[in-house]
Amino acid sequence: MNLELSHKTILISGGASGIGEAITRACLNEGANVVIASRITPAVEIFMAEMAKNKATCSLFSTELADPENCQAAVEFAIQTHGQLFGLVNNAGLNDSIGLEHGTPQLFTQSLYTNTIHYYALAHYALPYLKQSKGTIVNIASKVAITGQGGTSGYAAAKGAQLGLTREWAVELLPYGIRVNAILPAEVMTPLYHQWLQQFEEPGAVLQRIENRIPLGKRMTLASEIAAAAVFLLSPVQSAHTTGQQLVIDGGYTHLDRAIS
């Protein structure tokens, strides 16, 4: 299936680890140019070294996305590097466990800012170039936005906001032919998810309990499966008439009655 992403530039926040890394790899496999906006970590350095070794059309803009000016600079870097921008994947975020009982209004506000502002800022500064290319935006949200999780009010509110923005932008950008969609992962094994498991005395047992509650296949969703959906939504041909959608990829974890499993 030709997704017609070859030579198109995709800006991906947090695109060098976890789900973002999988999306980057999928875009590169389709011949796209990828610009990653991310802070530097050892994992990011390892990934970018691999990209350099393979001579991939993948570049890194090292930044802290919580500052809107850095978001503007990331977009400008993509334009300076490739001369055009077709797609934006808003992916970077952190489930920081700022809850109602054990959080504070100040921490809640910071969580909202950290997980939401760069989605808006990157889209805002990318918009003039997306108008030129009739491009697309894919927001990576979370099932937490529609199910809740407990103990993570800031993250849940931010993810809910991302879904609201997806629908809002899909309406606002209709006149420009810009499509906007969201993907909602649930249980995906990423470095952050692995780190979360390690807080338990028996991580393997916790993982087994989670997998047993996933109706389809009793397994975690693969990051590559999220990435496959992302490149489909980015495609100007295969998803040309898809906008304002919220795609849940989770083996039925969110919407199917777990009593059937």
* Model confidence pLDDT, tens digit, residues 167-184: 999 999 999 999 999 999
User: What local confidence, expressed as pLDDT, does residue 38 receive?
Assistant: 97
The ranges assigned to domains in the chain are 9-186+222-251, 189-220
Instruction: Say yes or no to pLDDT of 261 above 70.
Output: no
Q: How many angstroms separate the CA atoms of 59 and 48, rounded?
A: 8
Structure tokens at 210: 């989670």
Catalytic site residue 119? no
- Is residue 56 within 8 A of residue 29, CB to CB? The reply is no
Q: How many angstroms separate the CA atoms of 201 and 231, rounded?
A: 38
Of 33, 24, 25, 144, nearest to 89 by C-alpha is: 24
- Compute the CA torsion angle 215, 219, 224, 228 (nearest 10 deg): -10
Q: Please, which residues have CB within 8 angstroms of residue 243's CB and are 6 or more apart in sequence?
A: 170, 174, 179, 180, 181
User: What local confidence, expressed as pLDDT, does residue 79 receive?
Assistant: 98
- Is residue 147 within 8 A of residue 192, CB to CB? The reply is no
- Compute the CA torsion angle 192, 196, 199, 203 (nearest 10 deg): -100
Q: How many angstroms separate the CA atoms of 115 and 24, rounded?
A: 20
Strands laid side by side in the 9-13 sheet: 58-62, 33-38, 9-13, 87-90, 136-140, 179-185, 246-249
Cβ neighbours, 10 Å, residue 189:
16
3-state DSSP helix/strand/coil % of the chain, to nearest 5: 50, 15, 35
Whether the full predicted model's pTM is greater than 0.75, yes or no, is: yes
Instruction: Say yes or no to pLDDT of 191 above 90.
Output: no
The structural architecture, per CATH, of the domain 9-186+222-251 is 3-Layer(aba) Sandwich (3.40)
Q: Strands 33-38 and 179-185, how do they pair?
A: unpaired
- Selecting among 119, 129, 155, 253, the annotated active-site residue is 155
Residue 257: pLDDT band with limits 50, 70, 90 = confident
Q: What one-letter code names the amino acid at 231?
A: V
* Model confidence pLDDT, tens digit, residues 108-162: 999 999 999 999 999 999 999 999 999 999 999 999 999 999 999 999 999 999 9
* Model confidence pLDDT, tens digit, residues 197-210: 898 889 889 899 99
